[in-house]
Each structure stands twice: as structure tokens, then as C-alpha cells.
Amino acid sequence: MSYDTSYNSNYGGAFGGGGGGGGFVSNNYGSDGMSNSQGGGDRSISESKSRVRPVTIKQILDASQAHPDSEYSVDGVDVSTVTFVGMVRNVLNQTTNSTYRIEDGTGTIEVRKFVSADRPDSDRIQGPQMGDYVRVIGELKAFFNNKRQVNGNLIRKVTDNNEVIYAQLEALALHLQTLHPERQGGAGGALEETKMTGIQPSTRSYTNENLTSLQRRVLDTLSSAAEQASNEGVNIHVIAQRVGANPNTIQEACEYLSELGLIYTTIDYDHYKLT
């Protein structure tokens, strides 16, 4: 869970700690002619404000398009930036970019990553190799004859293999949440299901006996807070005040709940919202 799980966030921000990221903005839609075939070469970086949607590769391959220039739609929701975890099956290094063939058991897709102009060699030496599981964040593109491809902004090797499992559970949770938003106002639907199968439950009715009473009180406070409706969520100090506890212990409780996926950070690490 080491990438930013707040899907509203500008994913540029999520790159901050990624290391070696710096080059992607300038190289992404450069004058290499790559994108011209679809007339998409002038897309501005402002699009990077779009939400990052966790998907399976099958969902990318099944994504529909109203017409050739429109956004892709997954579960009826427009999607341009996606994230998934898959295994590298082939690497093709070219002058300006590397193309990775990646599969996750649900399908295979090509991910193109532009090479940093100033250090092409180090990118490749440290880059993912065949047989590696990688986390990809990138933008969905179509090329001639509707062949789908992802322009990879981030391709990083998975170091904790739980992420392989978690990534698909997350894609499923989002899928169910999108299809059944009425179920407990969001993640509840998917999480109810995961609860039934014995996965670490992330349920809205926090009967989870694994939570401490402090953690439960934090959840209760968040769910009853008027600020929950805002984009910022609730400040830690406000939570601390309402729960009547030390902000440091609240911070710890929030970090734990965030790891469970029950809450997430918003504008900074001091503000939280329920998922």
C-alpha cells in the first residue's frame, strides 16, 4: 500500500516520494511523435488531475469508448489514469522509450514508459526486468486499430508481494462500489463481501473486534462529523478534541485505520476522511 490511496489526488503528488520520477512531466508528451497518430499530442498536463482508478487489465481491455476521441469508461465512469499490478513478460527498449508487456492473469497489455533524456541508461539498468511484478500508474491510450496501451508514468517493482493480492482486491472493491453505490454509501458493498470470506474486514459498522476502542471512537467521530462532507475531511486536532485524547495517539490510530483502508488522508497528513 505504498502508493497514494486517495483517488482524488493529483497523482503528480503521489510521485513525490517515488524516486527517479522527475522526468515524466517533460518527457511524457514530448516531440518524439509518439502520440501524433491519434492527435493526442497536445494533451496538457492538467489532465493529470484526474482520478487514479485501480483496475485489472481485463477492465482496461473491456473499457468502452463512446467515440474514438472520448475518454474510456469503466463501469460507466470515465477513466483516464489507471493503476494496476502485473508481471513483466517482455521488455522492448527503444531510443525514446521502453515498452513492457505486462499481464496480471486477467489480460495482457503494453505499457510504454518514456526514457529520461538525461539518464537513459540508469533508467534501463534499474528498470523492471522480465518476471518482475510491477506497480503501474499510467494513462489509457488507444492506437491504430483500437489497440490499447498504457502510457506509464510510474512503473516500479513490487517489493512486498502482498501488493499483488491487494491491488486486485482494491480493483474489485472499486468495481463493486461503483456498481452498487447505494450499499452503505460506498465501500461497504465490497467490504461486506470480503468480510464474509474472512479477509481483514473493513466494514462500515465497526464491530471489528480487532480495533481498539480508541480506533473505534475515531471512526465514530469521523462518521458523525459534518466535515466528512467536505473534501478536506477532519483535522486530527479536531478529532482529538472530540474524542478527548492526545493528538499523537489520534495520529497513530489514524495511521492504523488508514492502513486498513477504512480512512484516508486528504489535503495533508493531518486531515482524514472515511473511505
Which residues of the chain form contacts with other proteins (CB under 8 A)? Answer: 55-56, 58-59, 87, 89, 101, 103, 105-108, 131, 133, 160-162, 164-166, 168-169, 171-172, 175-176, 193-194, 197-200
Q: In the complex, what is the shortest distance from the CB of residue 81 to other proteins, in angstroms, rounded to a whole number?
A: 18
Q: In the complex, what is the shortest distance from the CB of residue 168 to other proteins, in angstroms, rounded to a whole number?
A: 6
Query: In terms of CB distance, is 160 or 182 closer to other proteins?
Result: 160
Q: In the complex, what is the shortest distance from the CB of residue 85 to other proteins, in angstroms, rounded to a whole number?
A: 12
Q: In the complex, what is the shortest distance from the CB of residue 115 to other proteins, in angstroms, rounded to a whole number?
A: 24
**Helix, strand, coil percent values for the chain (each to nearest 5):** 35, 25, 40
Quote the cell numbers at residue 107.
Answer: 489480460
How far apart, in whole angstroms, are the C-alpha atoms of residue 72 and residue 74?
7
Query: In terms of CB distance, is 225 or 262 closer to other proteins?
Result: 262
Query: In terms of CB distance, is 25 or 92 closer to other proteins?
Result: 92
Query: In terms of CB distance, is 164 or 245 closer to other proteins?
Result: 164
Q: Cell 529520461 maps to which residue?
A: 116
Query: In terms of CB distance, is 78 or 103 closer to other proteins?
Result: 103
Q: Cell 469508448 maps to which residue?
A: 65
Length in residues, the chain: 275
How far apart, in whole angstroms, are the C-alpha atoms of residue 120 and residue 100?
16
Quote the cell numbers at residue 104.
Answer: 496480471
Q: In the complex, what is the shortest distance from the CB of residue 245 to other proteins, in angstroms, rounded to a whole number?
A: 29
H or E element, residue 114: strand 108-114
How remote is the C-alpha of 229 from its chain's centroid? 22
Tell me the torsion sign for CA atoms 137, 141, 144, 146.
Answer: positive
Query: In terms of CB distance, is 48 or 168 closer to other proteins?
Result: 168
Residues 234/228, Cβ–Cβ less than 8 Å: yes
User: Diameter of the chain by CA atoms?
Assistant: 61
How remote is the C-alpha of 219 from its chain's centroid? 23
Query: In terms of CB distance, is 20 or 107 closer to other proteins?
Result: 107
Q: In the complex, what is the shortest distance from the CB of residue 171 to other proteins, in angstroms, rounded to a whole number?
A: 6
Q: Are strands 148-157 and 133-142 parallel, antiparallel or unpaired?
A: antiparallel
Q: In the complex, what is the shortest distance from the CB of residue 227 to other proteins, in angstroms, rounded to a whole number?
A: 32
Q: In the complex, what is the shortest distance from the CB of residue 193 to other proteins, in angstroms, rounded to a whole number?
A: 6
Residues 47/80, Cβ–Cβ less than 8 Å: yes
Query: In terms of CB distance, is 161 or 246 closer to other proteins?
Result: 161
